[in-house]
Structures are given as structure tokens and as C-alpha cells.
Amino acid sequence: MPRKALQRGRVVVLASPDRDSAHHESVTQRHLAREAAALLGYAYGGVHEGGPLDWPSYAVPQRTLLVDEALALGIHSDADLLGGVVPHAFVAGKAITHGLVAREAAAPAGWAYELARGLDGAVLDGYSAFSREDARIAARRLLARGPVRLKAASACGGRGQAVCATFDAFEAALATITAGDLDVLGIVVERDLVDARTYSIGTIRVGASRISYFGHQRGAVDHLGRTVYGGSDLVAVRGDFDALSTVGMPVVAAAALAKAIHYDAAVAAAYPAFYASRRNYDVVHGRDADGLPHIGVLEQSWRIGGASAAELLALRAFAADPHLACVRVSTHEEYAGGAPPEGATVYFTDRSGRFGGLVKYARTHGDGYPA
């Protein structure tokens, strides 16, 4: 079917019928699409109803797309969307961060066995597994050196995880993983760290503008008493990852940047069909059970995420001031908190109480460093 030509470009939201999205995620997605439209000088076109996108269009999907899905929509490069495109569903999840327990271990079609070698030195000790028996092998190996963290490869926002100090605890956590999730997307079993801090390293492109940033995440306690993602504090500059060298990063943040660059390059080499306009990496620094320090990439995000509202605020700030070299921005996800500060960009307010009084907002803190 030929693509219809538009007089003015349009930014559209791609709904994800296969993903159980919370209402606040959908509201956030629409906010980000409107922000992208303003940056591009396009109109906001609402939710795309299916079929090839009209041209010129810019898509904001909620999840990472598969190559075939992108092609059917008319998406061919990172200039066409705010997000990423991968050749297999598992590539978008946490499982690619680690290798398997053995060459003959269960693995999905398309698994890049060489990636584990490519990521050596960029990630923590750990394994990915696509069967319960392989997961048990991974746990036995790692528990000999201290507690492990089990993570569903598809989980986000700090959910779908369990720290296990014993094999019995691991078995109980493993029992909560469904067969469908395990077989298709896998799970991660990795060394758990204490006194940990998670750094956010990323780069994003919208139109002709690209920024890169570093910062750290904050935790929050949600209405169910769970520790979840609470926001990000970021320092952003114009350009790609290399531009961050002009900021004078703290030593640990600079090490986190090096790990993220290593990870990004290794994945691109292992899966050449992958591309993304947003590349965000969570890098953890902490101590193991023996008190030794470790730093490594936990996971990637090539779709809109918790920091995206701050990323777009930074792009807006750079667009408004051609002389601006560095800007500090943040996102906040607060439960049953007070009113957001004056000047904040509020993009979700839970007036129903269904999400524990969740308020989501972003802020610009001015130019300069530190955050």
C-alpha cells in the first residue's frame, strides 16, 4: 500500500496491544509524543490506527519494535521513531546482558552466542536462562559467592525482581516466573550488590538534534510498599557519548559511561539489524558479599522510559538557547506526595487513587554542573 503524503509532518503514538500498560504509562507516552512534535515542528496526530504511516510521520512506540513491525509501518531508520528496533523480541529485554550456562543450554532462535564475550568487562557476573534447569545451574554457581538477584527479562521499573541468599529462596522466586516469559524472553540470574547506586547513561536523537547525558536514578516506595523507580537526575550536553568528556564527570560516573559505550558497541556488532534513536543504559556500582566493589551495565532501554521526559526537556532547552552547553534536568515519580514544585512539567496526576496518588513530573534545573 503506498504511503499517503502529508502537507505537514505528524507525530503519532503506537499502541501496544500485547503489553499490559498502566494508564499512567499511556498518558506519559502521549505527553512525550506531543513534546517530540513540538521539537520537530510537526502536528500531534494521536494514536495510529494501523497500516503504513503517512509520510512524513514520526512514531512514538511504547515498546521496542521488531524489524518486521517497523518495516510494515514504513519505519526504516532511527530518524523515523523515538525508540528502537530489534531483530528478535528477546533482544529488547535484559537477557542479552549475560551469556548462557553452557553452549548447549536452551536459547531462542537468533541468540548471538558471541555477545557474551563481547560484553566481558562491561557487565556483572551472571547468566541468562531460558529453562528452569539452566536457571538452577546459574543460581548454584553464583550462590557459592553470595546472594543473587533473579530478574524477569521483561520486567521494568524495578519490579519483577527478587534477591535470594539461599537456593530455597531462589526456587521460590523462580516459581513465580511463567513458562511463557521464561521460554521466550528468559530470566537473568546475577550477582547482587549492596550499597548500590544506579547510574543512567544515555543518548537520544530527535530530528537533527542529539544529546547525551549521565546521572543517577532515585528509588521510591509505591502504594503497595514496593521499592520502585522514583526518577532520574541527569546532566545533558549536545552531541554523542564522546561529548560528555567535556563535563568533567566524577570518577564512578565516567567509569559507568565507559561500560555503557562498551555495551552499546558490543550489541550493535552482535545484532547489526538493531537501531535506536534512544539508547539508555542502567549501570550499577556497589559491593559484593565480600565487600569488593563492582560496576557493570544492568540493562538497556531502547524505548521511551522513566527518564524520557527529562531528555525531551533537555532537547527543548538546547533548542531554545543555541549557546547553552550543558543543562541539568530531572524526572520525578512520587506516591502520595505534595504538590510538584513551581515550574515543573507535570504529565500525570493520579486523581482516582488507583495508582497510590502517583504524580509524574519533570524539571529543568538550569545550566552547568554538578547535578
Q: Three-class SS of residue 144?
A: coil
Closest CA to 198 of 165, 168, 157: 157
Residue 235 contacts residue 247 (beta carbons within 8 Å) = yes
Mean pLDDT, rounded, for 67-96: 97
The predicted pLDDT at position 198 comes to 93
Residue 314 dihedral angles phi and psi, to the nearest 5°: -65, -45
Mean pLDDT, rounded, for 239-250: 94
Q: Are strands 84-86 and 65-66 parallel, antiparallel or unpaired?
A: parallel
The predicted pLDDT at position 173 comes to 97
Q: Three-class SS of residue 289?
A: coil
Judge: domain 195-367, CATH 3.30.70.
no
Q: Do domains 93-192 and 195-367 have the same CATH topology?
A: no
Which contiguous run of DSSP H or E holds residue 58? strand 55-61
Closest CA to 363 of 343, 347, 338, 349: 343
Residue 300 dihedral angles phi and psi, to the nearest 5°: -115, 160
Which contiguous run of DSSP H or E holds residue 332? strand 326-334
Quick check: 285 pLDDT over 60?
yes
The predicted pLDDT at position 140 comes to 98
Per cent of the chain over pLDDT 90 is 81
Quick check: 6 pLDDT over 80?
no
The predicted pLDDT at position 352 comes to 73
Tell me the pLDDT tens digit for each residue of 187-240: 999 999 999 999 999 999 999 999 999 999 998 888 888 888 899 999 999 999
Find cell 557474551 and name the residue.
116
Cα–Cα distance measured from residue 11 to residue 82, given in angstroms and rounded to the nearest whole number: 10
Return the C-alpha cell found at 214: 549521565
Mean pLDDT, rounded, for 4-14: 84
Mean pLDDT, rounded, for 18-26: 68
Cα–Cα distance measured from residue 293 to residue 311, given in angstroms and rounded to the nearest whole number: 30
The predicted pLDDT at position 369 comes to 59
- pLDDT band, residue 17 (cuts 50/70/90): low
- pLDDT band, residue 368 (cuts 50/70/90): low
Fold of the 93-192 domain: Dna Ligase; domain 1 (3.30.1490)
The predicted pLDDT at position 49 comes to 85
Q: How far is CA 230 from the centre of its chain?
A: 14
Mean pLDDT, rounded, for 286-307: 97
Q: Please list the residues that pair with 215 across neighbouring strands.
A: 200, 234
Alpha-carbon torsion (207, 213, 215, 217), positive or negative: positive
Q: Please list the residues that pair with 300 across neighbouring strands.
A: 281
> How much is the mean pLDDT over the chain?
93
- pLDDT band, residue 371 (cuts 50/70/90): very low
Amino acid making up residue 62? Q
Domain ranges of the chain: 5-87, 93-192, 195-367
74: left (phi over 0), alpha (psi -120 to 50) or beta: left
Cα-based angle 218, 224, 229 (whole degrees, multiple of 5)? 20
Closest CA to 229 of 237, 218, 214, 241: 218
Return the C-alpha cell found at 49: 490506527
Cα–Cα distance measured from residue 193 to residue 67, given in angstroms and rounded to the nearest whole number: 35
Tell me the pLDDT tens digit for each residue of 320-364: 999 999 999 999 999 976 789 999 999 999 877 777 889 999 999
Amino acid making up residue 247? V
Considering only 18-27, 73-82, 313-322, 332-341, which range has the smallest mean pLDDT? 18-27
The predicted pLDDT at position 262 comes to 99
Name every residue whose Cβ is closer than 8 Å to that of residue 310 and which is 6 or more positions away in sequence: 232, 234, 329, 330, 331, 362, 363
Which contiguous run of DSSP H or E holds residue 301? strand 293-301
Tell me the pLDDT tens digit for each residue of 139-181: 999 999 999 999 998 777 667 799 999 999 999 999 999 998 8
Closest CA to 215 of 330, 344, 303: 330
